[in-house]
Amino acid sequence: MSESTLRIGLVLPDVMGTYGDGGNALVLRQRARMRGIDAEIVQITLDDEVPDSLDVYTLGGAEDYAQRLATRHLTRYPGLQRAAAAGRPVLAICAAIQVLGHWYETSAGERVDGISLFDLTTSPQATRSIGELVTTPVMVGLSQPLSGFENHRGGTTLGSDATPLGTVRHGVGNGVGDGTEGVVQGSVIGTYMHGPALARNPELADLLLARALGTDSLAPLDLPQVDRLRTERLAAGRRG
């Protein structure tokens, strides 16, 4: 791997990879390579310290016990926190939102301290949210609808230092009744969308890539198959 290689951190796929969210790192690598940019995925497991020197980081979803393992590891090795403080882009999916918050409550009623990259808290809701999720982004730099598959029981309340990623058009989202989905704080973005999210939302993928590369824009990619996937999934959300 050369010094010019884009380094994509896949954080704790051994415990935070229940729903195939590792695919987000694959999408970032492929979209970089299709533009002639050398890119590699760096897997960071429970056997590794978390480096603060990568260009972009992704974290996926998990269940309660795996969340606790991830929280302990990220607390012990705070490279992700240092990277975020330095402005490196981070994408957190589903349970990773909760780990990156101030605290989350498990289904058994145990409150677990998070790592406070997000100004938010998460508590179990009465019913589980499962199904297609479609939102209108409110984050600067995004203009196209976002879609994904949500599967969570947590309800996430944002604090004053955090803003939503989008507003819900179909589905549940953050699950606290305010019509919001996801979270943005500094260089860190969180969403409850699986899919993987970046396969279904190329505009979001390219925003993360551009930030990782330190550029305002990227050459467009002509990928009809991605357009077809987006059309089909957005239609599924409307039908759902």
- Taking only the tens place, the pLDDT of each residue in 131-159 is 999 999 999 999 999 999 999 999 999 99
Please say whether the beta carbons of 93 and 150 come within 8 A.
no
**Model confidence band, residue 107 (pLDDT cutoffs 50, 70, 90):** confident
Residue 183 CA to its chain's centroid (Å): 9
Element (H, E) at 81: helix 79-85
String of DSSP letters for 202-228: HHHHHHHHHHHHT-S-------HHHHH
Cα dihedral across residues 93, 18, 31, 137: positive or negative: negative
Q: Consult the annotation and say whether 128 binds a ligand.
A: yes
Summarize the confidence of residues 182-189 as an average pLDDT: 98
Domain-by-domain residue ranges, the chain? 4-235
Q: Of 73, 152, 170, 194, which is the active-site residue?
A: 194
Q: How far apart are CA 200 and CA 154, in angstroms?
A: 23
Residue 138 CA to its chain's centroid (Å): 16
Q: Of 73, 94, 152, 170, which is the active-site residue?
A: 94
Q: In the annotation, is 102 catalytic?
A: no
String of DSSP letters for 141-153: T--S-EEEEEEEE
pTM of the predicted structure, to 2 decimals = 0.96
Q: Which amino acid is at 144?
A: Q
pLDDT at 240 over 70: no
Q: How far apart are CA 99 and CA 92, in angstroms?
A: 9
pLDDT at 1 over 80: no
pLDDT at 239 over 90: no
Name 161's Cβ contacts closer than 8 Å, sequence gap at least 6. Answer: 119, 185
**Model confidence band, residue 3 (pLDDT cutoffs 50, 70, 90):** low
Please say whether the beta carbons of 150 and 171 come within 8 A.
yes
Quick one: pLDDT at residue 41?
98
Summarize the confidence of residues 125-130 as an average pLDDT: 94
**Local structure of residue 194 (DSSP, 8 states):** B
Quick one: pLDDT at residue 176?
95
Angle at 208 between CA 13 and CA 21, to 5 degrees: 25
Quick one: pLDDT at residue 2?
55
Q: In the annotation, is 170 catalytic?
A: no
Tell me which CATH homologous superfamily contains domain 4-235: Class I glutamine amidotransferase (GATase) domain (3.40.50.880)
| Mean pLDDT (the chain, rounded) | 95
First to last CA, the chain: 44
pLDDT per position as a tens digit, 42-99: 999 999 999 999 999 999 999 989 999 999 999 999 999 999 999 999 999 999 999 9
Q: Encoding tokens for residue 232?
A: 């089909």
Quick one: pLDDT at residue 18?
84
